[in-house]
Amino acid sequence: MTANMRFTEPNKKVRLGFRKIIKVQRGQDFVEALAWLSIVAVVSMFLLDGNLAQIKLETPPTWLTAISRLTALVATDILLIHMLLVARVPWIDRLYGHDRATLTHKKLGKPILYLVIAHFLASLISYAITAKTTIVNEFFTLALHSGRDLLWSILALALMIVVVVSSINIARKRLSYETWYVVHLLSYFSVALAVPHQFSTGTDIAGKWPQTFFWVTLYLFVVCNIAWFRFLAPIVGSVYHGFKVIETASESSDATSIYIGGRNLKRVGGKAGQFYILRVMTGKEWWRAHPFSLSAAPNDKFIRFTIGKRGDDTSLLQLIKPGTRIILEGPYGVFTEDRRTREKVTLIAAGIGAPPIRALAESMAARPGDINIIYRVRSESDAPLVEELKELSRRRGFKLTLLEGSRGNPKSWMPAHPENLPDHARLSLIAPWVSESDVFICGPAPWTKTVEKSLLRAGTPSHQIHAEEFAW
């Protein structure tokens, strides 16, 4: 095994200090300000119309129409932001990381649906009152006898409900990922179907050219970002580089490394700690995408992922044959040295969370003793990448601590201790300057949470704790 090890030269230097974090915050503030101002813009579109002055409480249609318009405008704006968040746009990814963007995307889903339903009900009821019919009657009038645009928008709402319901936690647990994924693709249709009625019946848009221009710009901006970054860029990049599996190597009983080669690998541009979304181009598998972290620092010879056997898909991936075409989307994530502010670094990994830690340990700029690696394993003999980490620590003079065995109590992230010392105390013993170091954690989500807790108790400020959640 040792003969097979291929290491890349570490980075020569790294910029430390809080200044670069302030730069990131500035970027985040800029993007968030833009997002909020886009909401302000649509609200002002509503206000510019001057309808607010006409509202009379005793006549429901006046304020129902206002509610309908306002909710529609705000909902559409948030919906576009919501879509942009998962378009895998590099300028969002670099600022927030894929996980935070995805989590925000998840949070926004339901509020958007509520707003759209409010819009639907408000306009329906106000029309029904105006027309002096029942709501059901008016619904069918609008759906069937008022042009196609409204019928489509009603369909869009139905699709949106299906998509959101399929994404709530209870449903996600029952549905397979594939079912959920296919249902989620419907959301593109939902968004598209709702467009015509905005331009033909939207009081604040139809026939007002500045508003129409603004609205079209918003839509085009989001559509272009999605089309390029989500769909075209990965295909163009993978065709250009011609990614193919070179070889596979078993790392442990349940983990395999896949080496991927291609032309001009220097220009792929990933960093240690980042991940790619991998699409195996075989007849059955091409439509399933899997996120994997780099398990070796980027170099010009190969891209390596180490894949643990978890679901049925990942076990299929272990059997992948050399020569198989691969489409890579990425790199994504901010789990990199770019976020490092301190000279000292603590890397904490558990099980199949080792790959990015291994890549970071390989590439980070450090003097001997700067980096402290903690690796939580079930058993040392069957831990992925453990030999490589040992060899790396030996060569670069890092301290590697293997935590082996089953844990002492359910709230602990460490193996049992004879004197039942709390985790944060043991952490301080293993890594004495943990409070002054940047800590990179990679492991299962609940485990990561407990590690973060004991880090905070050990005195590490939260802005020095870096962890990437698997948000899918």
In angstroms, give the least distance from the CB of 131 to other proteins.
3
**Counting contacts by CB under 8 A, is residue 41 touching other proteins?**
yes
**Strands annotated E in 309-370:** 326-332, 345-350
Taking CB under 8 A as the criterion, the residue among 104, 130, 324, 412 binding other proteins is 130
Among the listed ranges 136-144, 246-254, 334-342, 419-427, the one in contact with other proteins (CB under 8 A) is 136-144
How many Cα neighbours within 13 Å face the side chain of 121? 6
E strand segments, 222-268:
244-252, 255-261
From 74-82, 98-106, 147-155, 272-280, give the range in contact with other proteins by CB under 8 A: 147-155
129, 61 contact by CB (below 8 A): yes
Considering only residues 5, 47, 281, 429, which one is a binding residue for other proteins as defined by CB under 8 A?
Answer: 47
For residue 308, the number of C-alpha atoms closer than 13 Å in the C-beta half-sphere is: 15
Interacting residues with other proteins between 221 and 280 (CB under 8 A): none
Non-local (6+) Cβ contacts of 5 within 8 A are 387, 388, 391
Site string for other proteins, 55-84 (x = CB under 8 A): -x-xxxxx-xx-------------------
**Coil, strand, or helix at residue 261?**
strand
| CB distance 11 to 394 below 8 Å | no
Which 109-128 positions form the footprint of other proteins (CB under 8 A)?
126-127
155 binds other proteins (CB under 8 A): no
Residue pair 39/82 in contact by the 8 Å Cβ criterion: no
341 DSSP assignment: -
Concatenate the DSSP letters of all residues of 156-223 into one string: HHHHHHHHHHHHSHHHHHHS-HHHHHHHHHHHHHHHHHHHHHHHHH-TTTTT-HHHHHHHHHHHHHHH
Contacting residue, 13, 19, 145, 173, with other proteins by CB under 8 A = 145
Instruction: Pick the closest to residue 109 from 154, 73, 69, 78 (CA basis).
Output: 78
- Of 135-143, 370-378, 382-390, 417-425, the segment contacting other proteins by CB under 8 A is 135-143
Q: Which neighbouring-strand residues pair with 252? A: 255
Does 28 bind other proteins (CB under 8 A)? Our answer is yes
Nearest residue (CB) to other proteins, 40 versus 227: 40
Q: Which stretch binds other proteins (CB under 8 A): 101-109, 146-154, 281-289, 311-319?
A: 146-154
Map the footprint of other proteins across residues 180-219, applying CB under 8 A: 200-201, 203
Q: Which of 33, 135, 220, 445 touches other proteins by CB under 8 A?
A: 33
By CB under 8 A, which span of 44-52, 108-116, 221-229, 263-271 interacts with other proteins? 44-52
Give the whole-angstrom CA distance, residue 143 versus residue 154.
7
Identify the burial level of 193 via C-beta atoms within 10 angstroms of its C-beta, where 0-12 means exposed, 13-18 middle and 19 or more buried.
Answer: buried
Among 5, 23, 32, 182, binds other proteins (CB under 8 A): 32
- Pick from 138, 251, 337, 388 the residue near other proteins by CB under 8 A: 138
Query: Minimum distance from CB of 193 to other proteins (Å)?
Result: 16
Q: Contacts with other proteins: how many residues (CB under 8 A)?
A: 47
Query: 455 near 436, Cβ under 8 Å?
Result: no
According to the binding rule CB under 8 A, does residue 341 interact with other proteins? no
Query: What does the binding site for other proteins look like in residue numbers (CB under 8 A)?
Result: 25, 28-29, 32-33, 36-37, 39-41, 43-45, 47-54, 56, 58-62, 64-65, 126-127, 129-133, 137-138, 141, 145-147, 149-150, 200-201, 203
